[in-house]
Structure 1
Amino acid sequence: MKPWEKMKFESVATRPGQPSRIQQFEQLCGSRLPGDHHHFLVDVNGGRPVPPTASNPDEYPVVAVDWQGRPPQGALDEVIVDYLFNAEDWAGIYEEERSESLTLSGAYREFVQEEPRIARGFIPMGSDPGGSLFLLDVSGKQPGSVWFWARDWFDAGQLEKEPFHNLGYIAPTFSEFISKIRFKTID
């Protein structure tokens, strides 16, 4: 069983994902997606993680972040997984429900091409409620691994000197990242 089959994902995106859209994104970013992330997009095509059974509406999907001894050590040990981006062109989706920022291509254009804010070799593949990002390493430090980009600790002046200044490690693979998501009540 694939880890994403253990939970539901809410989204207005087309289900299943279209391989041609995934290929278009890979051409845009110049990298192939790791196999497990590619399969997730084909099977699920992103969305908001929700528990597989009825639960407390105050439960949120969270995942632990390892800051590897760097600030903001201890300040942000768990983060909410708000939305995993999809490979979508929004064809047939009502205008008021479209959000280019919830697509792989839209986030890539915004955070990598238009105003670079993430380290080379990473692509944004999800977000928390505050605009921080979940990144997938496609050619950098640990290909296939998942990281958290803390928006509040981003410093454009540090990007070239210390590209990992606001990154925390989450998992060695996308599948492990999905497996680490837990649902809990946030006070």
Structure 2
Amino acid sequence: MKIGMYGGIDNGHVRDRSIDYIAIDQGLAYLAREGIKPIIAIGDFDSLKDKRLLEGVPSLKYRPVKDDTDTALAIKWAIAKGFDEMEITGVMQGRMDHFLAVLCLLEEYRDYRITLYDSKNCIRLLKAGSYDINCQQYHYFSVFAFQDTVLTLKHCDYELDHYFLKRQDPLCVSNQCKDVLHLETTNDILFIQAS
């Protein structure tokens, strides 16, 4: 079951208007701009400029001093409600500490399909396995290892065959594929597509 989320950074339009959305703090304003009423708003709402937007929207309000980020709280709520696929917009750019925290959440919730979007990028964690990935929408892709992994890339400009990709190795930045990329990895990787 899939749900969308919009966080506190203006990352443009939502990708999928056919699904329900969770508003994360200031994300409520960006969903309102899109004409989308979320099924719930979650956060401390310290960055929500227009508090009137909360009227008529179910909400979970937290104190600003807490152990989880607003995004982490939204993911936990979605999982508790049975969602296993999440498209999250509004969490890239802005403060780097919050963005790095979101990358940590991708790793923490690796058994769920969580994809991050902004107007130019798509980021997700791929677990060990074999994938055929459509690259027609995005021109570039990059791969980073969460742990050392053996990586194979086929049908792209810079192919690799059982390459030992270390966690600190930036070799796989800015590759290109025009159709369907074949990827194999023995450990979790961060897969980034960009236009």
The verdict on a shared fold, with TM-score over 0.5 as the criterion, is: no
Q: Name whichever structure is richer in helix by fraction.
A: 1
Give the greater-gyration-radius structure (CA).
2
Scaled to the shorter chain, the TM-score interval is under 0.3
With CA pairs under 8 Å and 6+ residues apart, which has the higher RCO, 1 or 2? 1
How does the TM-score come out when normalised to structure 1?
0.23
